[in-house]
Amino acid sequence: IMSQKSITSFFKPN
Amino acid sequence: MFEARLVQGSLLKKVMEAIKDLLNEASFDCAHSGILLQAMDNSHVSLVSLNLRKEGFDKYRCDRNIVMGMNLTSMSKILKCASNDDIITMKAQDSADTVTFVFESPNQEKVSEYEMKLMNLDQDQLGIPETEYCCIIKLPSGEFARICRDLSQFGESIVISCTKEGVKFSAAGDIGTANIKLAQTGTVDKEEDAVIVDMQEPVTLTFSCKYLNMFTKATPLSPQVCLSMSPDVPLVVEYKIGEIGHIRYYLAPRIGD
């Protein structure tokens, strides 16, 4: 079973 | 005053097709240097980054930076009213709450004007760190679209595995498994037909089929697509937009529990 990470766990708000 | 005129208006129509399924709304940041758009999809799984340089436009004027929040469903409806060979101009007054699209037929005999209300969008801009990618793969965009479509029949994920021999796309599901290997091409007649792998370290990552398929809506923009991968960071799928700029999609990998 795979889970999907959010893009916000890699890129943070400026 | 903001005004951007594009003789090759079909590019703007194609850009809209490339983002409208992923994003409901987005802010167009218009500045002296050009237009930037950055937005996450509703599920915050992927990020779209669009860059249109002012040099790519036939006329470009931006006296003050303006942020135009647009409903992309509405913008798409309007751009569908433009013919493929129309010249498209986007314009807005400083601090206006509307944007105007002007479509001119090539012989100037028909001029259409559409005014659209702008939205106030409170969207966070994300910082995208400079990354040295382990694998950079260039391949024909139509081939990539075909692979994503074909593998979608097998499962919800596509595994992309890059080695010095080439790149392998695979999927597995209830009906069985699928593997597609692309070897690096030797000499090709047309540069756009080439498969080029620039690999520092082999990388294998798993991605959502659904999102990859949505990114391939950008296929009409460019004959080539560039995939950049490193372990445990988002994939970058990049399409050039003629001489004017590019669209990049960032997709977080799927990970095993």
pLDDT confidence of residue B122? 79
Strand (E) positions, chain B?
2-6, 25-31, 34-40, 46-53, 59-62, 66-71, 87-92, 98-104, 111-117, 126-127, 135-140, 157-163, 166-173, 176-183, 196-199, 203-208, 224-229, 235-241, 245-251, 254-256
- Predicted pLDDT of residue B187: 80
The set of residues, in sequence order, having a beta carbon less than 8 Å from that of B188 and lying 6+ positions away, is B194
Distance between A10 CA and the closest CA of chain B, angstroms:
7
Chosen for mutation from A3, A4, A8, A9 (greatest number of chain B CBs closer than 10 Å) is A4
Q: What is the pLDDT of residue B96?
A: 83
pLDDT > 90 fraction of chain A, expressed in percent and rounded: 43
Q: Is the Cβ–Cβ distance between B86 and B105 less than 8 Å?
A: yes
* pLDDT-above-70 percentage for chain B: 100
Q: How far apart are CA B39 and CA B57, in angstroms?
A: 23
pLDDT at position B1 is: 93
Single-letter amino acid, residue B162: C
Q: Which residues have C-beta within 8 Å of that of residue B82, sequence separation ≥ 6? A: B9, B12, B13, B88, B101, B103, B112
Chain B residues with CB under 8 Å of A2 CB are 157, 206, 254-257
Q: Which residue has the higher pLDDT, A8 or B124?
A: A8
Burial class (CB in 10 A: 0-12, 13-18, 19+), B159: middle
Structure letter (DSSP) for residue B234 = -
CA distance linking residue B135 with residue B198, whole number of Å = 6
Contact A6 B253 (CB under 8 A): no
Chain position carrying tokens 């760190």: B129
Bridge partners of residue B44, in order along the sequence: none
Return the amino acid letter for B76.
S
Quote the DSSP letter at residue B185: P
Contact B170, B180 (CB under 8 A): yes
By the CB < 8 Å criterion, does B130 face chain A?
Answer: no
Q: What is the pLDDT of residue B231?
A: 95
Q: Which residue of A1, A7, A12 is in closest CB contact with B252? A: A7
> For B108, left (φ over 0), alpha (ψ -120 to 50), or beta?
left
Q: What is the pLDDT of residues B50-96, one digit of tens each?
A: 999 999 999 999 999 999 999 999 999 999 999 999 999 999 998 88
Band of residue B125 on the pLDDT scale cut at 50, 70, 90: confident
**What ipTM did this prediction achieve?**
0.94
Mean pLDDT of all residues in chain B? 95
Quickly state the pLDDT bin for A13 (edges 50, 70, 90).
Answer: confident
d(CA B65, CA B146) in angstroms, rounded, equals: 40
